[in-house]
Chain A
Amino acid sequence: MKLSEIAKLLNARVVCGQERLNEEQDIVFASDLMSEVLTLDDNFPIIVTGLCTMQTIRTCEMGNLDIVVFVRKKKPTPEMIELAEDNNMVLLECDYSMFKACGILWEAGLKSIY
């Protein structure tokens, strides 16, 4: 599914990475635990998270996850956005809960990493 469609389904704002919205992505991982994110194998999934700190972006940089959906109305800081832009990431802000956002993406046919 195109990232632009995912953003629309989640009623999400695109914080950065507008130029990548035509890319297709089908795998999603959701977690607030960055230690868990760092154990993932290299499948380049979208991450859905309510953890909105500098370490979220750093963890994604190290784990090769470059599409981040922040749920629960979390808003990244300018420093986080700058780091994300340096790493060519897509950041989306979504007002939905983690459960609702994941439910919408699952219903739309996106796949779990395992």
Chain B
Amino acid sequence: MHLEYTIIEGDFVNAGSASSSIKKTLKQLSVNPSIVKRVVVALYEAEVNAIAHAYGGKVTADIDAGKILLRVIDKGPGIPDIDWAMQEGNSTASPEVRDMGFGAGMGLPNIKKNVDRLNVQSTVGVGTTVEMEVNLA
């Protein structure tokens, strides 16, 4: 099963709509609830990151019997230092993002905690792809 969702820059009202849709799909597929939670928490963190930091992009999900592969692909500006961004507490979030209860530098470490495989590729001026895989069985 392949699913795709569009991410619009700064569209905080709809932040989480892709995660919400995928949560419903995984529940319909009778995936273990604790695995569903790990998937949607990781995806929601990545969605919020893309809306907060990037110039829009998309979310794709590929689900088969054994795993879900999620990609959050944005159009930039890119992350200059991924190792720095992965450390808890480091953040470049705007005051607006912080006012919404995010921007504490906890997102990427929390994604890492919840997925089985994480790959973050970023090119400054081009964009970032966050690839997350979770075993469903």
> Taking beta carbons and an 8 Å cutoff, which residues of A are in contact with B?
32-39, 42, 51, 53-56, 58-59, 61-64, 79
Min C-beta distance of B13 to chain A, whole Å:
5
Residues in A with CB closer than 8 Å to B103 are 35
A58-B20 CB under 8 A given contacts A38-B44, A39-B110, A64-B37 = yes
Contact B44 A33 (CB under 8 A): no
- Cα-based distance from A87 to B45 in the complex (angstroms): 19
Name the prevailing secondary structure of the A interface residues.
helix
Contact A54 B13 (CB under 8 A): yes
B19-43 to A contact mask, C-beta < 8 Å, 1/0: 1100100000000011001001100
Contact B101 A32 (CB under 8 A): yes
Contact B106 A39 (CB under 8 A): yes
Please, how many residues of chain B have a CB less than 8 angstroms from a CB on the other chain?
24
Contact A59 B13 (CB under 8 A): no
Contact A33 B16 (CB under 8 A): no
> Taking beta carbons and an 8 Å cutoff, which residues of B are in contact with A?
12-13, 15-16, 19-20, 23, 33-34, 37, 40-41, 44-45, 48, 100-104, 106-107, 110, 113
Task: Pick 19 A–B contacts, CB within 8 A, sort by A.
Answer: A32-B101, A35-B104, A37-B101, A38-B44, A38-B45, A38-B110, A42-B33, A53-B100, A54-B12, A54-B13, A55-B100, A58-B20, A59-B16, A61-B16, A62-B23, A62-B37, A63-B37, A63-B41, A79-B13
Contact A42 B37 (CB under 8 A): yes
Residues in A with CB closer than 8 Å to B33 are 42, 64
- Cα-based distance from A61 to B19 in the complex (angstroms): 10
- Cα-based distance from A53 to B37 in the complex (angstroms): 21
